[in-house]
Chain A
Amino acid sequence: MTRPDADGRDAGVPAGRRPGAPEGEAGRPVRVRPPRPERRIAAAFGLTAAAAIGFAAVYWQGGQTQLEGVLLAVAFAGLAYGLGAWSARLMPQGPFVEEHEPFGSSRRQRAAFAAEFEEDVQAISRRRFLGRALVLAVGALGAALLFPLRSLGPRPGRALYQTPWRAGAQAVTADGRPVRAADLAVGSVLTVFPAGHVEAGDSAALLIRVDADVLRPAPERAGWSPQGLVAHSKLCTHAGCPVGLYEQGSNLLFCPCHQSVFDLLDRARPISGPAARPLPQLPIEITADGYVRARGDFEGPVGPGFWSRPP
């Protein structure tokens, strides 16, 4: 890797004083340093040892995170100081010079390599037909070996288009308790799921009671929100985060991930932030004995967009 340079010296030999260099190492500012660094270095190592013993004692006594951290930190700091001072004060400083040859090989070497290689590769390069057959074989095999990747997961199918909500599904809370309309006062919010599907990732819906007078549903959604109770998908249509912040009074839904804001009184349409589509609404009804039930699935696929999502 290193060769003797023109003077026959090996690499890594002290260069000696550079002409015109200031006192001290070549080109470096002279630092004022304390004499007798050995005592400080020894003290630093002593500190390391003491801190290490301290750490062991703390651990043996049951451990405590802050003490463990500070003792180990002190131990390593002592080592760092000691080794740093040792290398800076008590080891050969140089500057040392190492020459190196140009990065590319010499022309002669390249020519020799090319000649030998080409001679040996004739056995392969002249056989064009066999070469192509080999490429075909390896190509087919490589493509075939990609197939097991399919085992990693199920096909998307209809999964992104539907949720477990169905007509007649009873709305329940996260612990499975059926929800009654009377559970919510004006300005209350609950996260509800279809009974039996509390674990499903796309089934969460926000059930909110607003003042029935301010709710003006579109004609095709009349009957979707009885007694001022509205239900929308909780999954943000931007990147799928649960839209967990409901602002009573202004009736806004605020997603904490990227700050999309949805207007609950206007089909949960996005009015700010990067979301581009409203939160799909869940049509609900109130049964005779006051329980909240869905009338069908959400009005469209919930959550973030995807390539084949219908408009």
Chain B
Amino acid sequence: MILRRSARWLDDRLGAASVARTSLSKVFPDHWSFMLGEIALYCFVTLVLTGVFLTFFFEPGTNDVVYHGAYAPLDGARVSAAYASSVRLSFDVRTGLLMRQVHHWAALVFLAAIVVHLCRIFFTGAFRRPRELNWLIGVSMLALSLFNGFSGYSLPDDLLSGVGLRIAYSITLSIPVVGSWLAFLVFGGEFPADQIIHRLFVVHILLVPGLLVGLLAAHIGILVRQKHSQFPGPGRTEHNVVGSKLWPTYATRSTALFCAILAVLLALGGFAQINPIWLYGPFEPSQVSSPAQPDWYIGWVEGALRMYPPWEFRVFGRLVPNPFVPAVLVPGVTFLALYLWPFLEQWLTRDRDAHQLLDRPRDHPVRCAAGAGTLAFYGLLLATASNDVVARLTRVPVASLTWAGRVILLVGPPVAAAATYVVVRALRDSGAEGVLQVSFGQLVAAVRATGRRRPGRGARGQGRRRRPATIAGGSEDR
């Protein structure tokens, strides 16, 4: 009764009935892999909720204060206000440690979900026309989230993240021509610049979340406008969406997923210790702890820094320091490639049609191979970032692990790409149900088929020829 009256009250003022009706009956396809983006979204919501709690207690200052609180080994220690407030949050604020840990676990899972979501989009070709714009927005959100994660764990000014900031400073310094100016302006002077914690705080709680919310709104708005893509199947065409209605089924299911995410993150936050800053101690520029790694989503840059050989060179007599290639060029090229991929694939396959139906990954052996090789490369970079941990556990010398890592980084991705191509091609050509049902003979046949000369460019588009196009997407008149 109350609901009906409130609805009528709103409609009298907004005239929303028809919009509400069409919105609530929107159809979303049911495949589980379409929920990966939602996992990321709800992790973001969790981050914002726990983050607000943390913001009420955290002080982003590098001025020295004396910590007095429940944690005895730091009681009476002169530390920065940022560090002291983080320790206080952990031990002197009720549910503070839970909130801190949930926040950090949520950040790790958030980025993992984004990456898996990106992979789903990539391997099913969902970035193809007309969804290139959403791909670009998504990649931008990935970059922003990476940066927010880094800035977030650097805020408590502890020894581990402080060393990470030192590395970030050195990476900025390594940029040719403008590096030292950039470092001094961004950080506010020579390291350890007093301003950086405060600046990261502003970026972390205001600028990047604001941008992310805006981009998210655009991302979801475009998704609603274009309708969600779907796998081929009975009753599904290039011109419809088959699935559940938004209200009540899909909304309830999505809310259930949100609650499940909260449950998992809260369980992790309660039981699994993460980022024990009280053990690391406050940051001092002359001190360091070992092992020293960043959070996993920065690990690929760390691995690149460790694996890249000790090469420095001079240009016009000026120095291009060692960290420039692994920590500026590699990430730069990475994101450039990510941004360009839909257009690159369009150019390579000559496929400019709009697609509502997704590819099964097996329909595109080349794309799968490219994706597998890329995943192998970044996965290996991430793995090599833990070479000192592996060295301690296995007693293999670190230098040997580094050399092995360099070789594997050069050899592994091409091998992964080639193997993936053969397997996917065999899967496609044999019509088998799944990878495990592909026989060895079919694999051999796939290798032979690859070696054979391809009948012209059309084969690259998997046999798809240019359709006599309706004029660049415009439809016939109604």
Contacts and interface: CB of A to CB of B under 8 A. Distances in A.
A complexed with B = yes
Interface of A: 1-2, 10-12, 15, 18, 20-21, 26-27, 59, 62-63, 65-70, 72-77, 79-84, 86-88, 91-108, 110, 149-150, 152-156, 159-160, 174, 191, 193, 201-202, 204, 234, 238-245, 256-261, 270, 272-277, 303-309, 311
Given A238-B323, A303-B170, A12 B288 contact: no
Nearest to A70: B270
Nearest to A22: B234
A244 B290 contact: yes
B248 A12 contact: no
Interface string B19-51: 000110111001000000000000000000000
The 10 A-B residue pairs with the shortest CB-CB distance in the complex, in nearest-first order: A69-B270, A305-B321, A12-B25, A204-B286, A256-B290, A304-B170, A87-B252, A84-B256, A104-B473, A80-B259
Given A240-B169, A304-B170, A98 B388 contact: no
A69 B271 contact: yes
B189 interface: yes
Nearest to A204: B286
A297 B274 CA distance: 41
B449 interface: no
13 contacts: A21-B234, A68-B270, A69-B102, A69-B267, A83-B255, A95-B243, A107-B471, A152-B195, A191-B286, A241-B292, A244-B288, A256-B290, A303-B170
Given A239-B167, A239-B323, A240-B170, A27 B233 contact: yes
A83 B191 contact: no
A273 B310 CA distance: 6
Contacts of A204: 285-286
Chain B, interface size: which category? 35 or more
B263 A274 contact: no
A276 B302 CA distance: 17
B90 to A, nearest CB: 9
Contacts of B143: none
A77 B263 contact: yes
A11 to B, nearest CB: 6
Contact of B177 (A93, A238, A239, A307): A307
A306 B271 contact: no
B94 A305 contact: no
Given A65-B97, A201-B192, A256-B292, A97 B27 contact: yes
Given A95-B244, A156-B180, A80 B256 contact: yes
Contacts of B414: none
Contacts, number: 333
A1 B224 CA distance: 9
A167 B209 CA distance: 50
A73 B174 contact: no
Contacts of B473: 102-104
Interface in B260-278: 260, 262-264, 266-271
B310 A270 contact: yes
A167 to B, nearest CB: 22
Contacts of B285: 201-202, 204, 242
A311 B286 contact: no
B190 A95 contact: no
Interface string B84-105: 0000000000110110011000
A154 B242 CA distance: 60
A105 B130 CA distance: 13
Contacts of B23: 1
Interface in B272-329: 284-292, 302, 305-306, 308-312, 314, 317-323, 326
B124 interface: no
Contacts of A309: 319, 321
Contacts of B180: 156, 160, 306-308
B25 to A, nearest CB: 3
B226 interface: yes
Nearest to A150: B185
A309 B318 CA distance: 7
Nearest to A13: B25
A182 to B, nearest CB: 23
A134 B450 CA distance: 58
Given A154-B184, A257-B292, A94 B249 contact: yes
B65 to A, nearest CB: 15
A88 B322 contact: no
Contacts of A77: 259-260, 263
Contacts of A241: 163, 166-167, 288, 292
Contacts of A20: 234
Given A83-B255, A245-B290, 14 more contacts: A65-B95, A77-B260, A96-B244, A99-B239, A191-B286, A201-B190, A238-B323, A239-B171, A242-B288, A273-B306, A276-B310, A304-B174, A304-B323, A305-B173
Contacts of A98: 25-27, 227, 240-241
A160 B291 CA distance: 28
Nearest to B130: A103
B310 A62 contact: no
Candidate in A95, A191, A311 with the most chain B CB atoms within 10 angstroms? A95
A156 B190 CA distance: 8
B193 interface: yes
B245 interface: yes
B318 A308 contact: yes
